[in-house]
Amino acid sequence: MTTDTGEVGERRLSLPAWRDIGHGAQRQGILLAFIVFLILFSLFSDRFASWDNASTVFRQVSIIGTIALGVTIVVIGGNLDLSVGSMLSFSTVMVVDLHDKIGPAPAMAITLVATLAIGCVNGILVGFLKLNSLIVTLGMLSAIQGLTLIYSGGQNVDITDQEATWFAFFGRDFVLGIAVPTWIFLGLAVVFHIVLTRTAYGRRVFAVGGNKTAAAFSGIRRARVVFSTYVISSFTVFCAALILGSRVMGSQNNVGQGYELLVLAGVILGGTSLLGGSGSVIKTVIGVLILGFIQNGLLLMGYQYYAQWLVTWVVIILAVWLDVASQRGRLFTTTA
Ranges of H-type helices in 276-304: 281-300
Element (H, E) at 175: strand 174-175
The angle, 0 to 180 degrees and rounded to 10, between the axes of the packed helices 200-210 and 222-248 is 110
How high is the pLDDT of residue 162? 84
Please tell me the total number of residues recorded for the chain in this structure.
336
Q: Name the 3-class secondary structure at 178.
A: strand
Contacts of 175 (CB under 8 A, 6+ apart): 183
- Residue pLDDT, tens place only, 112-133: 999 999 999 999 999 999 999 9
* Percent over 90 (pLDDT), the chain: 53
For 5-16, what is each residue's pLDDT tens digit? 555 444 444 555
What stretch of H or E contains 179? Answer: strand 178-179
Q: How far, in whole angstroms, is CA 126 from its chain's centroid? A: 20
Convert the pLDDT of each residue in 239-286 to its tens digit: 999 999 999 999 889 999 889 988 998 898 888 888 888 889 998 998
Q: CA angle 49-52-54, nearest 5°?
A: 55
Query: Percent helix, strand, coil in the chain (nearest 5)?
Result: 75, 0, 20
Q: What single DSSP character describes residue 301?
A: T
DSSP H or E segment with residue 88: helix 84-102
Residue 129 DSSP label: S
The mean pLDDT of 55-63, rounded to a whole number, is 92
Q: What is the pLDDT of residue 1?
A: 47
Calpha distance 61→247 (Å, rounded): 13
Q: Where are the domains of the chain?
A: 61-327
Whether residue 145 has pLDDT greater than 50: yes
Q: Which of 251, 65, 48, 226 is nearest to 137 (CA)?
A: 226
Average pLDDT, the chain: 85
Give yes or no for a contact between 111 and 94, defined as CB atoms under 8 angstroms apart.
yes
Looking at the whole model, is its pTM more than 0.75? yes
Over 213-240, what HEC string results?
HHHHHCCCCHHHHHHHHHHHHHHHHHHH
C-alpha 242 chain-centroid distance:
17
Burial (CB < 10 A; 0-12, 13-18, 19+), residue 274, is middle
Using DSSP bridges, classify how beta strands 157-158 and 178-179 pair: parallel, antiparallel or unpaired. unpaired
CB 237 within 8 A of CB 67: yes
pLDDT of residue 317: 77
| DSSP character at residue 249 | S
Query: End-to-end alpha-carbon separation of the chain, Å?
Result: 49
For residues 287 and 114, the model is more confident at 114
Q: Which residues contact 105 (CB under 8 A, 6 or more apart)?
A: none
pLDDT the model gives residue 293: 86
Q: Which amino acid is at 39?
A: I
**Neighbouring-strand partners of residue 175:** 178
In the DSSP assignment, the letter for residue 154 is T
pLDDT at 164: 85
Nearest to 223 by CA among 214, 234, 233, 215: 215
Distances (CA, A) of 76 to 69, 298, 318, 319: 11, 31, 20, 17
Which amino acid, residue 216?
A
